[in-house]
């Protein structure tokens, strides 16, 4: 992760601007004074820089929860703050470089709001979850220009690598999203997807709750797939294959095709390596045979006036509130000059959303954007609004 090690952190008067980067406000962890967040706006992206005191030095890096998809934006924000605050840098892995010319022109990278505010397509849609190097995704998009491909990935270098190839190859049927695929599936309209690819997901043997394949993911896949549409799982992990098979087969009605060491048109460099090692590759393909009801989501993310005082808000630190089908966890509380900010996780237990909540006086707003409009998040928001009203 890009970072600067500095001798001493210096605060600046906000708001302030340097080299096209706007620094909006600062906040301090109410329970750990050695941690601060700096709110940044750059090229339409809102995110935080994280300041963390360490022994004999201080670390300045991007906040993992809000960091933008463009690594270039993180680099620029770090260097701009070091410049405006006149910081003494002891060590750095942040290069001083120009933005990739291919990324200047690209429009394929979309924010979640692009899909949440009206998912429209006159083409068949195919989704690849965790595209990695992008070899399979790019091949499919180039080979099927009449189909709209959506690639989902959270690894920034992989995202930029694919965006560069989208520009070089002139692909206009490929969109890229940096988001949790499990949440993204909840906002896709029913019956429009031809295929969902889940190729070589992280096995998460020690944290099975983080696996992509789950009962709820399969349910959403069945809903978004057209009749005859397919969910394709491809894995080199025998444990993941066995777990996934059991999850699929627990449904009352399902059609599965099982393959072992099946050849496909394009493979990743990792798969090539595994084949040379004579490692087995497992495929499970689920075929949807039923048309689903249309997706309907009612409600919004507006707040009533907040009635809790700042001191009462600070006491929310580490509290967890559960309700039927979900929860809200107040992870951390931060103080600001004009209010309080809370880092929260909310929604369903197996795929929660993580974001910040800024509270100034009686007003509350999510940061850096609204939660995804899903059934579990709408329910969690309603419960959160009640908590803030005492």
Closest by CA position to 70, among listed 164, 156, 176: 156
The average pLDDT across 199-206 equals: 91
pLDDT digits (tens, 9 = 90+) for 15-40: 999 999 999 999 999 999 899 999 99
pLDDT at site 125: 96
The answer to whether 216 touches 182, Cβ cutoff 8 Å, is yes
3-state helix/strand/coil string of 148-180: EEEEECCCHHHHHHHHHHHHHHCCCCEEEECCC
pLDDT digits (tens, 9 = 90+) for 283-305: 999 999 999 998 887 889 999 99
**Percent of the chain whose pLDDT exceeds 90:** 69
The average pLDDT across 183-209 equals: 92
pLDDT digits (tens, 9 = 90+) for 100-133: 555 555 688 888 888 887 776 788 999 999 999 8
The answer to whether 132 touches 168, Cβ cutoff 8 Å, is no
Q: Coil, strand or helix: which one is 253?
A: coil
Q: Coil, strand or helix: which one is 384?
A: helix
pLDDT beyond 70 at 71: yes
pLDDT digits (tens, 9 = 90+) for 326-385: 899 999 999 999 999 999 999 988 788 999 999 999 999 999 989 988 888 999 999 999
pLDDT at site 68: 83
pLDDT at site 102: 54
| Rounded Cα distance, 171 and 267, in Å | 20
pLDDT digits (tens, 9 = 90+) for 259-274: 999 988 888 777 888 8
Do you find a cis peptide bond into 96, omega within 30 degrees of 0? no
Closest by CA position to 24, among listed 10, 13, 32: 13
Q: Do the bridges between strand 16-18 and strand 89-92 make them parallel or antiparallel, or are there none, so unpaired?
A: unpaired
User: Which has the higher per-residue pLDDT, 97 or 194?
Assistant: 194
pLDDT beyond 90 at 82: yes
| Rounded Cα distance, 223 and 261, in Å | 29
Q: Give the chain's radius of gyration (CA, Å).
A: 22
Closest by CA position to 338, among listed 17, 25, 40: 25
The average pLDDT across 37-55 equals: 93
Task: Please give the C-alpha separations between residue 44 and each of 12, 132, 370, in angstroms, as whole numbers.
Answer: 22, 26, 15
The answer to whether 144 touches 276, Cβ cutoff 8 Å, is no
pLDDT at site 41: 96
The answer to whether 133 touches 155, Cβ cutoff 8 Å, is no
Give CA torsion, residues 81, 87, 91, 96, to 10 deg: 40
| Rounded Cα distance, 144 and 140, in Å | 6
Mean per-residue pLDDT of the chain:
91
User: Which has the higher per-residue pLDDT, 374 or 147?
Assistant: 147
pLDDT at site 351: 80
Q: Coil, strand or helix: which one is 54?
A: strand
The average pLDDT across 235-247 equals: 95
pLDDT at site 97: 61
pLDDT digits (tens, 9 = 90+) for 306-338: 999 999 999 999 999 998 888 999 999 999 999
pLDDT at site 339: 95
Closest by CA position to 45, among listed 60, 30, 33, 63: 63
């Amino acid at each position: 992760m890009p970072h600067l090690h500095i001798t001493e952190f210096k605060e600046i008067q906000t708001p302030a601007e340097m080299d096209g980067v706007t620094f909006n406000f600062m906040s301090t962890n109410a329970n750990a004074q050695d941690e601060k967040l700096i709110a940044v706006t750059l090229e339409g992206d809102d995110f935080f820089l994280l300041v963390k005191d360490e022994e004999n030095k201080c670390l300045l890096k991007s906040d993992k929860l809000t960091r933008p998809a463009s690594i270039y934006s993180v680099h620029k924000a770090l260097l701009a703050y070091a410049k405006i605050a006149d910081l003494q840098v002891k060590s750095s892995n942040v290069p001083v470089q120009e933005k990739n010319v291919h990324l200047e022109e690209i429009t394929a990278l979309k924010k979640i709001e692009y899909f949440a505010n009206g998912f429209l397509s006159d083409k068949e849609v195919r989704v690849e979850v965790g595209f990695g190097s992008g070899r399979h995704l790019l091949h499919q998009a180039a080979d099927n220009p009449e189909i709209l491909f959506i690639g989902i990935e959270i690894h920034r270098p992989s995202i930029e690598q694919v965006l560069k190839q989208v520009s070089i190859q002139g692909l206009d049927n490929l969109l890229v999203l940096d988001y949790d695929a499990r949440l993204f599936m909840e906002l896709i309209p029913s019956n429009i997807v031809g295929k969902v690819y889940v190729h070589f997901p992280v096995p998460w043997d020690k944290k099975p709750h983080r696996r992509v394949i789950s009962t709820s993911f399969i349910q959403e896949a069945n809903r978004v797939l057209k009749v005859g549409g397919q969910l394709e799982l491809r894995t080199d992990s025998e444990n993941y294959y066995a777990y996934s098979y059991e999850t699929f087969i627990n449904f009352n009605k399902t059609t599965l095709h099982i393959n072992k060491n099946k050849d496909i048109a394009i493979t990743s460099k990792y798969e090539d390596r595994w084949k040379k090692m004579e490692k087995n590759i497992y495929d499970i393909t689920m075929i949807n045979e039923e048309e689903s009801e249309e997706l309907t989501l009612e409600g919004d993310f507006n707040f009533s006036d907040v009635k809790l005082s700042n001191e009462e808000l600070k006491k929310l630190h580490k509290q967890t509130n559960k309700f039927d089908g979900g929860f809200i966890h107040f992870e951390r509380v931060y103080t600001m000059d004009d209010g309080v900010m809370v880092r929260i996780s909310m929604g369903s237990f197996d795929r929660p959303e993580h974001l910040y909540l800024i509270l100034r006086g009686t007003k509350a707003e999510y940061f850096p954007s609204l939660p995804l409009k899903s059934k579990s998040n709408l329910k969690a928001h309603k419960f959160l609004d009640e908590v803030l009203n005492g």
